[in-house]
Amino acid sequence: MTTSKVRAWPQIVLTGFMGAGKTTIGRALAAQLEAPLFDSDALIEDASGTRIGDLFGQLGEPKFRDLEHRCITAVAGRPGTILALGGGAIVCEATRASLRNCYIVYLEISPATSLRRIGDPSSRPLANTGELTQLLEAREPIYRSVAQLILPEQDEPPEATLSRLLAALPPVYHPA
């Protein structure tokens, strides 16, 4: 009989603005820690059968945020896992409450870097508004208020960001 390794550490949640690298870093972090990854955008698309950009347009932001909250709540707080959030997920107070027992990492990003990384904004509903800077400025205090770790933006490849993140994680996340 084989026993699986029980993961006792709190779920790591990656938050930040669009283009910050939450999904990319989430995948790499999950591989490094040998942990399951939940990506809120993928959860939403799986639940609805519709792409995020299309769904956002069909439902409007309030109903989209409600669906997003339900998908996140279904996996929130699972020990030994990684959760990559959509850029606006943390704005919902109920979603923040469901992540209360998680270790939240804020991946900082500037508006210029966000625009460069997202490229074609058609897949990002709120990137088309032309008010990207104002949106980031409105969300930044929320990102900061929930984060146990703030990872400053640096112009570097994802592997370097992952290394900085791993070095900054508390000892509970490092194998003995």
26 a known binding residue? no
49 a known binding residue? no
Which long-range CB contacts under 8 A does 116-121 form with residues at least 24 apart?
A: 116/19, 117/19, 117/21, 118/18, 118/19
84 a known binding residue? no
47 a known binding residue? no
88 a known binding residue? no
73 a known binding residue? no
74: left (phi over 0), alpha (psi -120 to 50) or beta: alpha
Structure token pair of residue 56: 């956002």
Residue 137 near residue 144, CB atoms below 8 Å:
no
65 a known binding residue? yes
161 a known binding residue? no
CA dist., res. 83 & res. 100, Å (int): 13
Q: How far is CA 64 from CA 46, 47, 48, in A?
A: 14, 12, 11
21 a known binding residue? yes
Strands 12-15 and 103-107: parallel
Residues of the binding site: 19-24, 41, 65, 87, 124, 139
Give the residue numbers of the binding site for Mg(2+).
23
Q: List binding-site positions for substrate.
A: 41, 65, 87, 139
Binding positions for ATP are 19-24, 124
